[in-house]
Amino acid sequence: MTPIDLLLTDARLPDGRLTTIAVAGGRIVALDAPAEAVARERIHLGGDLVLPALIDGHMHLDKTLVGLPWIGHAAEPFRMSRIETDKRILPGLPLSTEQRAANLARLCVAQGTGHIRTHVDIDNEGRLAKLEGVCAARERLAGAVSMQIVAFPQSGVMRCPGVLDLLDAAMREGADLVGGIDPLEIDRDPKGQLDGIFAIADRHGRGLDIHLHEPGEMGLFNVQEICSRTRALGLQGKVTISHGFCLGGVAESKQQAAAELMGECGVALVTHGAASAPLPPIALLRRHGVTVFAGNDDVRDTWSPYGNADMLERISYIGWRADLRHDPMLHDILELATGAGAKALGLERYGLAVGNAADLVTLRAEGVPEAVGAHAPRRLVLHAGRVVARDGAYCGP
Amino acid sequence: MTPIDLLLTDARLPDGRLTTIAVAGGRIVALDAPAEAVARERIHLGGDLVLPALIDGHMHLDKTLVGLPWIGHAAEPFRMSRIETDKRILPGLPLSTEQRAANLARLCVAQGTGHIRTHVDIDNEGRLAKLEGVCAARERLAGAVSMQIVAFPQSGVMRCPGVLDLLDAAMREGADLVGGIDPLEIDRDPKGQLDGIFAIADRHGRGLDIHLHEPGEMGLFNVQEICSRTRALGLQGKVTISHGFCLGGVAESKQQAAAELMGECGVALVTHGAASAPLPPIALLRRHGVTVFAGNDDVRDTWSPYGNADMLERISYIGWRADLRHDPMLHDILELATGAGAKALGLERYGLAVGNAADLVTLRAEGVPEAVGAHAPRRLVLHAGRVVARDGAYCGP
């Protein structure tokens, strides 16, 4: 038998069992080890609940101001002003993209996040500079958190000639997915943008994650366009719609049709809870087989002064707003930040099972419903079997 | 000069100044004391922000399950089922109303809340029993938190003959305000309920706090009825509408008219952020002089599995959902849990000024915007100058 590196004793599993978890070589090697087994290190959890490390499926690490003195929100209350404000403020900050991205990623880890999908702005002004910064942060923190990067055309694609080439270059320089944004509202050319970004994804054999803030029927039009291209290119399971507020803002019959279409085409949805926009119908989408996952989106950045990177707080809010109260529904809500996120991100060896990565988080809770409802502070966070945060403080590499 | 009981050194005030706060006889006696002044006790805050103790303006202390092993949500997804479920579950619990109410109140204090307005069910089954329990909890915790009690006809008024008399009795037995609930949906007799509860308030010289979940125009009808009775009886400044989801669910012109009417009639609004219902237009209401304050509502109780009693987290969510991003707006959002709450509750000697009660909370934050945006854990909570919680743990009487 492999020598045990770490024993977590008096650990509560999501099914309620109190047990001892054994870790070796960065993996879970037993979920019911004898408490007296020989191990290099042992940590007594005192009955704390153990969950798989949380997944933050929608972040903007390149925009954060975490680590800087407070900077008040500076943009006018519309999206194009926020885009322009980014270009004015971000280049002059005293911390680099790498430093700021790493600061926020450490905050994520401290709250129990083990895997992040982050969008990174690709535009004609910054070109690939932010991607380089976030790639450097990803490398620096590889021992504490995994990152998946979306090459995100925040300023638009067709309205900014040259951006398609930059997105293509980004896919060679470390980005994992191709992004997109509001093909009607921002680009006013849905065919142009969607044909362009799907072609890049197809060429590189990668997936897409497309921001869709567009409301009502306008947004639904693009949901349909995204679904048809996903099916045509055989990209089922590799495409995500970010936000999809339109899904919450149309009649129930249209929600139903969109959910069916997304389910058939294997198009996922990631939500941060929709802020002032309508919340997509999470339970309906799940019933139609849509992978619904969650992300924090902006955390103390140029777009929003809100956020603390806590995924349990995030899904608690989403469940509360979605009116999901019964215990099985609270388990479903946890899925948004665990299993469904892992599926959308294509993570292998994820979850509380023997052979999977020992990426874990512990907190005071009797079970999953309480963990979601009260989201108590995190006690211990492990990545590949190593303790990377304790009592809300990052202590990883 | 009065001998100083406590000096809080290196304290950051909401305006950014670093200073020393002196406390004597339970009051703030200086906001700019010399750090070297003689005092019985001194606590170095290390630059932590000091806020006045938070105000939770809408609670249901009698329904909570805090302190019990987890009990899954048991009601069907409609309000009348929740009302019936309360009557089935609450009487059989192994902890009394007093014990459960005190457990939740301690959790509130641990999160920095110093003042609570709680609704307490008055109905033909329980009669005044829950009121007695919450009054006992109030007395027990008087050294840590103040409580204002609303005699709340959860099951209805006109549909439950005898409840008007019970509400009247509740006002003699310790309740501070008269409650009401959905005069159309629950009672189907708005004139009967509102005439009845306003008459009781008038007779006892007290205010009212009326639950209004009714949507759209149905709810607006009752906003108008409440406003007209408030004006007729001279109760301006003493009447609150709880929730008022209807205000978020009607056309902007009707929102505007309702805001004007509520402002003129001195009718306040308390919100918990509206969950799955539309959020009332907070900024519009404030512009029309309406006192808008906030409360957590259900915390791990028979109505909801969500909640941790944190008022900073609550208002952070409200501000995020209301799309309020700029620093002055974040100061306005803090008002929902401080100044506006104090005004609605009629608290005297509230706030960070010399002569006021030393009811304070501290946390790691550079200023008010960060305190709202990130709502870091609470460090220290004081009530009347005594430390009643430290690092999220209650340590009061």
Tell me: the pLDDT tens digits for A84-99? 999 999 999 999 999 9
Task: Locate CATH 2.30.40.10 in chain B.
Answer: 4-52+349-389
The strand pairing partners of A271, in sequence order, are A294
Q: Which of B70, B279, B376 is closest, CB to CB, to A369?
A: B70
- Residue B323 at interface with chain A, using a CB cutoff of 8 Å: yes
- Residue A253 at interface with chain B, using a CB cutoff of 8 Å: no
Q: Tell me, what's the pLDDT at B146?
A: 98
Q: Tell me, what's the pLDDT at A25?
A: 97
- Residue A325 at interface with chain B, using a CB cutoff of 8 Å: yes
Verify whether the Cβ–Cβ distance B374 to A307 is below 8 Å. Answer: yes
Closest-CA residue of chain B to A65: B370
Is pLDDT at A153 greater than 70 in this prediction? yes
Closest-CA residue of chain A to B327: A72
Closest-CA residue of chain A to B248: A276
Mutate which: A310, A315, A317, vs B, most B CBs within 10 A: A317
- Distance between start and end Cα atoms, chain B: 29
Percent of chain A with pLDDT over 90: 99
- Residue B38 at interface with chain A, using a CB cutoff of 8 Å: no
Q: Tell me, what's the pLDDT at B2?
A: 74
Alpha-carbon span B365 to B356, nearest angstrom: 23
Q: Tell me, what's the pLDDT at B1?
A: 58
ipTM, interface predicted TM-score of the complex: 0.97
State the smallest CA–CA distance between residue B29 and chain A in angstroms.
Answer: 30
Q: Which of A70, A320, A322 is closest, CB to CB, to B369?
A: A70
Sequence length of chain B is: 397
Taking CA atoms, B118 is separated from A187, A298, B115, B297, B345, in Å, by 51, 34, 10, 9, 11
Is pLDDT at A254 greater than 80 in this prediction? yes
Q: Please give the average per-residue pLDDT across A61-67, as a whole number.
A: 98
Q: Tell me, what's the pLDDT at A1?
A: 58
Alpha-carbon span A351 to A355, nearest angstrom: 9
Is pLDDT at B378 greater than 80 in this prediction? yes
State the smallest CA–CA distance between residue A375 and chain B in angstroms.
Answer: 8
Q: Tell me, what's the pLDDT at A174?
A: 97
State the smallest CA–CA distance between residue A169 and chain B in angstroms.
Answer: 35
Q: Which class in CATH covers the domain with range A54-345?
A: alpha beta
pLDDT 10s digits, B18-48: 999 999 999 999 999 999 999 999 999 999 9
Is pLDDT at A2 greater than 90 in this prediction? no
Q: Please give the average per-residue pLDDT across B142-170, as a whole number.
A: 98
State the smallest CA–CA distance between residue B60 and chain A in angstroms.
Answer: 17
Tokens of A208: 């897409």
Strand-by-strand arrangement of the B54-59 sheet: B54-59, B113-121, B146-152, B177-181, B207-212, B239-243, B267-271, B292-294
Percent of chain A with pLDDT over 70: 100
Task: Locate CATH 3.20.20.140 in chain A.
Answer: 54-345
Q: Which class in CATH covers the domain with range A4-52+351-390?
A: mainly beta
Task: Locate CATH 2.30.40.10 in chain A.
Answer: 4-52+351-390
CATH number of B4-52+349-389: 2.30.40.10
Closest-CA residue of chain B to A67: B366
Average predicted confidence (pLDDT) for chain B: 97
